[in-house]
Chains A and B, each alone.
Chain A
Amino acid sequence: MSVVTVQLGQCGNQIGYEVFDTMCRDLHNTQGFCSKRENEIYQASCKEHFFNEDKSEVPVARALLIDMEPKVISQTLLKAAHSGRWKYGQHSHFCQRQGSGNNWAYGYSVHGPKHEESIMNLIQREVEEYDSLSGFSIIMSMAGGTGSGLGAFLTQNLRDAYPNSFIMNQVIWPYGTGEVIVQNYNSVLTLSHLYRSSDALLVHENDVVHKICAKLMNIKQISFRDVNQVIAHQLGSVFQPTYSSEDSFQYRRNPLGGFKDPALYTSWLQPSDAFCEWRTHRAFNKYEKSAALVSNSQFLLKPLDTIVGKAWNMFASKAYVHQYTKFGIEEEDFLDSFTVLEQIVASYCNL
């Protein structure tokens, strides 16, 4: 049961690298705080989910790197290769020469259709390698142009091409201030489109992670690398192979499949079914004990509402709209997106 990770745009690729790096380090950790046998079973399971073996015996990440300009992918491939512990596949990337310019419309309406065939072929080739595909994990930011726009387009395409696969998007929520000026437009357009095709959106908020770095980890000069490593650790611990409830000595439950579990989503029916717990005896990332909580709650209501509010305010003045209509996203498309998100906000409010 394997997971195909798709790393999109600068953010997706930078974080994706940290995720695989973290998992690889954890794999080789001898300090599992458990028995040797358990360690071996865990390692085998983890490797199977996220890495391929090739002739050189260096694990090859099950990932596809996609970006519309080459700098970040070159850096990412190099860093992985230099680590010596793991690497990306030789033919696992796709890039172009000119980025999406922080323009969702450009990512969705221009890059998307133009490179649809090449990208879907790349994904198909990867998927064909595996006996069973448990699903896709797409890492993307909402604020920019490629991760957001091309990400939305690609998720739609994946849904059409693989209707029975599980698709999960790792969505990076931008800082409230100081990243991209049109980030609220890009976010609104991304979320409203992802909602129609994705099975689950796992959200990582830059502001929250930044606070973790500052307050909990006491880092003085926080870099994007620090932020990305925290996100990677969170993702890694969520995707760990875990015991299935039936058989306590076999790692059955695969990471993405776990999210399909209906128990996760019946939070308004039975409180006893609302919480699902999986255990692993083997420690993760050198922490003696750790826990990861994934929740679907009203937690995200405020950030979502804030983004919709700011985007709406800007839209009322029509600022920047010409940059989107230039590439085929009209005012009606904006209004549709706002409508979808207001419905979501209202639904969460009514819980």
Chain B
Amino acid sequence: MAQSVVVQVGQCGNQIGCCFWDLALREHASVNKKGIYDDALKNFFRNVDTRGTGISKGRICSLKARAVLIDMEEGVVNEILQGPLKDVFDSKQLITNVSGSGNNWAVGYKVFGSQYRDQIVEKLRQTAEHCDCLQCFFLIHSMGGGTGSGLGTFILNVLEDEFPEVYRFVTSVFPSGEDDVITSPYNSVLAMKELNEHADCVLPIENESLFDIVSKINQMINSGKPGTTVKQQSLVTLNEGGIKKKLDEKPFDKMNNIVANLLLNLTSSSRFEGSLNMDLNEISMNLVPFPQLHYLVSSLTPLYTLADVNIPPRRLDQMFSDAFSKDYQLIQADPKHSLYLACALLVRGNVQISDIRRNIERLKSSLHFVSWNQEGWKTSLCSVPPVGHSHSLLALANNTCVKPTFMELKNRFLRLYKKKAHLHHYLQVDRMEDSCFTEAVSSLSSLIEKYNELDVTKGLPIHEQVRLNIVI
């Protein structure tokens, strides 16, 4: 079985990462009753004895996350190391600083990048050496700040240089329009050039969507309608150990847990068994028809399970419909009115192939697929459902609906750039030049143009290509 390593960079990256490890432990604990260090656990965790030496089989002694934690401020990482997960992280897998990146991509990338490159490579190598078959790096970061954005994308380059055969999946939190960091458009566009060129797959996330999902759940819980008591364990926003005391709960925890669940569901079929497995390399193979078009819209369902056993379980088909509704998406976009290049359905739990086929038949007439991929569906069936659910669905769509998001980002960038607002903060950084900006916006424009070229084909009559003529 192959292994994956999580690289969490910056405040946002580490907070989400922390939620991920928490939930991963909870998921494995609920499945792994015998306490044996099995192949599924091996994917994300090492098993070590009291001296810290790796144990490859047998009983679980102490689990260590395959993770590298990087932040240019100490606050978040220190908190993690003092919290309930402190034993899960190896102190040798951390890189921290005190000064922070000042919400400046150039500081994160150019200054800290070069300063910490050797340390970063060393920590990555150590983590990789503990794997007998490293398949994928998961980079978690935000785009709007300085560390996650700048140093995070610098690390993306390092991953490609040092481990070219290993997949690079990036979970990127994009800033919203009302982001309180004024220079977030600069940071995001500069980071996007790196994502375009060095990531295999990007899962963009928008806080607005996460917030909406949290509100929806709160509404449900507080509605007081009969039969709407929710099984606490099943909440997509929940941490280990049940309901957290209000005092301890951080504002972003609920939202971060949604992203953590995304990552768990994404990797479920490579960790657990099922009748139609899907490994991480299959995600890239099936969903990325052209190298640069690797941005995937994700939607997760269900968000919760009702506790009342007298209410019949929500029809399975409703789960599929929900996955194609904007309410369950992790970014603000409209795939139904745009063009699908490819779509993947990762199903967990008590669902069979006939259920999937029935729903694809039902849904496809309301969706537009590109002419050369009219049946562009990839499916996987994992037998193990998430904690608290009998089944779940993660839909990943490669769809031109990301274009408006990118265009909006470009416009915000240009509004600042035209006035040269705050530019000096960047240009005064060593080796940072104006050309970095122009190249970045050019890369973004070219990406938008590629989506445009596909969009214009939408709705055009499809004619079959002329086939080869064979003389017998």
Contact = CB atoms under 8 A, between A and B. Distances in A.
B352 interface: yes
Contacts of A213: 354
Nearest to B287: A181
Nearest to B345: A178
B279 A322 contact: no
Given A14-B275, A338-B468, A350-B472, A314 B373 contact: yes
A70 B467 contact: no
Given A101-B279, A227-B353, A339 B372 contact: no
Contacts of B287: 181
B1 interface: yes
B285 interface: yes
A343 interface: yes
Contacts of A99: 277, 279, 281-282
Interface in A62-100: 69-72, 74-75, 97-99
A346 B375 contact: no
Interface string A299-319: 000000000111011101111
B275 A178 contact: no
The 9 A-B pairs with the shortest beta carbon distances in the complex, nearest first, are A101-B281, A222-B354, A97-B133, A319-B289, A223-B352, A224-B275, A181-B286, A178-B377, A317-B372
A241 to B, nearest CB: 31
B376 interface: yes
Contact of B467 (A181, A224, A309, A319): A309
Contact of B470 (A181, A319, A342): A342
Contacts of B353: 175, 210, 222-224, 227
Contacts of B285: 101-103, 145, 182, 320, 323
Interface in A117-170: 145
Contact of B378 (A98, A176, A181, A312): A181
B342 A70 contact: no
A318 B132 CA distance: 35
A310 B465 CA distance: 9
B281 A103 contact: yes
Contacts of B352: 221-224
Contact of A10 (B276, B290, B376): B276
Interface string B367-405: 000011111111101000000000000000000000000
Central interface residue in A221, A322, A346, by most chain B CB within 10 Å = A221
A310 B379 CA distance: 19
A323 B290 CA distance: 9
Q: Is the interface of B mostly helix, strand, loop or mixed?
A: mixed
A71 B1 contact: yes
Given A70-B1, A71-B39, A178 B354 contact: no
Interface stretch (B113-121, B248-256, B355-363): B355-363
Nearest to B134: A98
A182 B472 contact: no
A310 B361 CA distance: 18
Given A319-B372, A343-B470, 4 more contacts: A69-B1, A97-B133, A319-B373, A342-B468
A102 B282 contact: yes
B416 to A, nearest CB: 35
A310 B286 CA distance: 15
Interface in A207-238: 210, 213-214, 221-225, 227
Interface residues of B, number: 49
B390 to A, nearest CB: 13
Given A224-B276, A309-B464, A309-B467, A98 B135 contact: yes
Given A224-B352, A313-B464, A316-B465, A181 B276 contact: no
30 contacts: A69-B277, A70-B1, A70-B39, A71-B39, A74-B39, A97-B2, A98-B2, A98-B279, A98-B281, A99-B277, A101-B282, A102-B286, A103-B281, A178-B345, A178-B379, A180-B282, A180-B286, A210-B357, A221-B352, A223-B275, A312-B465, A313-B371, A313-B464, A317-B372, A319-B290, A323-B284, A323-B288, A342-B468, A342-B470, A350-B472
B352 to A, nearest CB: 4
Contacts of A261: none
B284 A310 contact: no
Interface in A2-56: 10, 14
A342 B468 CA distance: 7
Contact of B1 (A97, A317, A323): A97
Given A97-B132, A101-B282, A177-B357, A71 B277 contact: yes
B79 interface: no
A82 to B, nearest CB: 15
A75 B364 CA distance: 34
Given A182-B286, A222-B352, A309-B467, A10 B277 contact: yes
A72 B273 CA distance: 7
Nearest to B454: A317
Contacts of A317: 371-372
Nearest to B462: A313
Nearest to A68: B279
A266 interface: no
A242 B232 CA distance: 61
B291 interface: yes
B289 A320 contact: yes
Given A181-B377, A224-B381, A69 B468 contact: no
Nearest to A225: B275
A205 to B, nearest CB: 14
A154 B448 CA distance: 44
Most B CB contacts (10 A, CB to CB) among A74, A98, A350 go to A98
A75 B273 contact: yes
A226 B377 CA distance: 22
Contacts of B371: 313, 317
Nearest to B471: A346
A347 B279 contact: no
A179 interface: yes
Nearest to B344: A181
Contacts of B373: 181, 314, 319
